[in-house]
């Protein structure tokens, strides 16, 4: 392994690891406030490394949804990673084996993907492995400490931590929808669908897990029809 490339990846992944620590701290605290054990919350982060998927998965678990609904929810929410991995593979400067390929695919999150694609030089296995190490430790360690802190906090504070999820989503969504009307339309459509499943007769009896899946699919499909992406012409 090229140690210089590995150290360079570590340096680039440090800021991501620090950011992941703060976000996952909230996930850990929220998880124990919803009845999960500290070890369970830590294992979820260690084996998933996906913020939106984990928060949505926690919602589905707390709602008592079926395993099939949980799997389908994660498949839809995290489907973008398949496309990101394909794009990343085109930037690899060397042949890689199956084990490094699986490990790189595991920590190919939005932020790591952005850093990797921004690099001008060909991507090496050593660089990508270094890039993903600290984010994994940050995400898992933050979840563990957040869950540990949440388990000893008063009940009132633990209950208030549930608002953190919605605050995080608003912080992500609001800047994005200000720049693109298609994203605003997707958010509004998902909101309307969610309200229908919450209050409309018949629809409100649908389980929370299936409702999340249906809202995601309906909003995405309608926006794909209303706001199709223009294909770039190759020169």
pLDDT tens across 118-170, in order?
A: 888 888 888 999 999 999 999 999 999 989 988 887 767 766 665 665 665 67
- Across the chain, the runs of DSSP E, i.e. the strands, are none
**pLDDT on residue 234:** 41
pTM here is: 0.69
Query: DSSP label at 109?
Result: -
Helix (H) or strand (E) holding 99: helix 98-106
CA angle 15, 19, 21 (to 5 degrees): 115
Whole-angstrom Cα distance, residue 11 to residue 13? 5
How far are the Cα atoms of 148, 221, 233 from residue 213, in angstroms, in the given order? 31, 12, 33
**pLDDT on residue 40:** 93
Helix (H) or strand (E) holding 175: helix 163-179
Which residues share a beta bridge with 123?
92
Residues of the chain predicted below pLDDT 50 = 232-235
**pLDDT on residue 74:** 84
How far are the Cα atoms of 1, 2, 73, 193 from residue 217, in angstroms, in the given order? 43, 43, 10, 10
Whole-angstrom Cα distance, residue 17 to residue 228? 35
**pLDDT on residue 20:** 86
Which residues share a beta bridge with 92?
123
The H helix count followed by the E strand count for the chain is: 12, 0
Whole-angstrom Cα distance, residue 91 to residue 149? 41
Instruction: Find out whether 29 and 161 touch, Cβ atoms under 8 Å.
Output: yes
């Amino acid at each position: 392994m090229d140690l210089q490339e590995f150290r360079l990846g570590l340096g680039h992944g440090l800021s991501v690891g620090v950011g992941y620590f703060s976000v996952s701290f909230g996930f850990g605290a929220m998880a124990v406030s919803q009845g999960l054990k500290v070890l369970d919350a830590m294992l979820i982060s260690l084996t998933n490394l996906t913020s939106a998927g984990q928060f949505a998965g926690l919602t589905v678990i707390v709602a008592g949804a079926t395993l099939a609904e949980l799997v389908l929810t994660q498949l839809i929410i995290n489907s973008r990673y398949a496309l990101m991995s394909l794009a990343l593979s085109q930037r690899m400067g060397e042949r890689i084996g199956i084990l490094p390929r699986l490990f790189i695919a595991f920590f190919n999150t939005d932020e790591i993907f952005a850093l990797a694609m921004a690099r001008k030089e060909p991507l090496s296995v050593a660089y990508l492995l270094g890039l993903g190490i600290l984010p994994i430790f940050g995400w898992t360690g933050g979840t563990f400490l957040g869950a540990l802190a949440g388990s000893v906090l008063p009940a009132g504070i633990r209950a208030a931590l549930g608002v953190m999820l919605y605050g995080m989503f608003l912080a992500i969504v609001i800047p994005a929808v200000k720049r693109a009307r298609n994203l605003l339309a997707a958010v509004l459509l998902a909101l309307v669908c969610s309200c229908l499943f919450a209050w409309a007769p018949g629809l409100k009896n649908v389980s929370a897990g299936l409702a999340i899946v249906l809202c995601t699919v309906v909003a995405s499909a309608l926006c794909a029809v209303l706001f199709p992406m223009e294909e770039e012409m190759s020169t």
